[in-house]
Amino acid sequence: MKVITLRWKYLLAAAAFVVLLISGAASAKAAGAAEVWWSGSRSLPVYCVDRSDNKVAISFDCAWGTEHTDEILKNLKASGVRATFFMVEFWTKKYPDYVKKLIDEGHEIGTHSATHSYMSKLKEEEIRAELTSSSEAIEAITGKKVELFRPPYGDYNNTLIDTCNDMGLYPIQWDVDSLDWKDLSAGDIAARIVERVKSGSIILCHNNGLHTAEALPIIFDTLRARGFEFVPIGELIYRENYAIDNTGKQYLRNR
């Protein structure tokens, strides 16, 4: 009965998603992270990547709770999708078993700061302390070097991005926001994502979103049917000879 109930739940979510799509349509240099050249006067994180191969990445920010994380991991595994998880230091230390589980299941881990502060308000030495301690907490559990950083609240300034790059961390934003933290329905979450994804997109979700796990099968099935391939962010971005334009799109310099 449980399997049948779950199947009906996904079918109903998918049906709602299709309705939303229809209504929407009707209304409608060898440079490393520390050496990157930024276009314009403002230092920017990577919002998306200039790619023509239809590769995209889905990411999850981890700051509070794990109530829905197992279901997310189950659906990622069932779909064969490897994701990127950005975790705050206090979450890392509170849930070390989940950190290990993520790595064991082939996912990628980046830091989301130590205290989930508005880091544009911090001094450079405070930023360095946040990035160092949070990365060390992850590395102590995984044995793997942290290479990615996502600013809490998507908040940043030149000091944060420049410091991040100087420390060898790639600052990562997103160009597709699920808004799953607002407890949207699975159909709404899926519709928001699939209507906005393009080649090179980075999708933002949260590990404890109320309906995030339920939306994942719809997202994966729909986007794969359109020819998209999911990879971790570390495999989506360019690691050398790149620049970032004023929209936050990362691209190869020789293009």
Mean pLDDT of the chain: 88
Give the C-alpha separation, 231 to 205, whole Å: 15
pLDDT at 254: 79
Which pTM does this prediction carry? 0.85
Residue 255's pLDDT band, with cuts at 50, 70 and 90, is low
14-47 pLDDT, tens digit per residue, is: 544 444 443 443 333 233 333 344 445 789 999 9
* Burial tier of 226 (Cβ tally within 10 Å: 0-12, 13-18, 19+): exposed
More confident residue, 15 or 73: 73
Closest CA to 250 of 203, 205, 204, 201: 201
Q: Which CATH superfamily is domain 2-252 in?
A: Glycoside hydrolase/deacetylase (3.20.20.370)
pLDDT of residue 61 exceeding 90: yes
| Alpha-carbon distances of 198 from 48, 174, 221, rounded to whole Å | 9, 12, 15
Tokens of 214: 């339920």
Q: Examine the pLDDT at 81 and tell me if it is beyond 90.
A: yes
Res 226 pLDDT > 70: yes
Amino acid, res. 211: H
Predicted pLDDT at 89: 98
Alpha-carbon distance of 105 to 76, in angstroms, equals: 9
Span 159-177, pLDDT tens digits: 999 999 999 999 999 999 9
Among candidate residues 31, 30, 36, the one with its CA nearest the CA of residue 165: 36
CB 140 within 8 A of CB 118: no
pLDDT, one tens digit per residue, over 173-215 is: 999 999 999 999 999 999 999 999 999 999 999 999 999 999 9
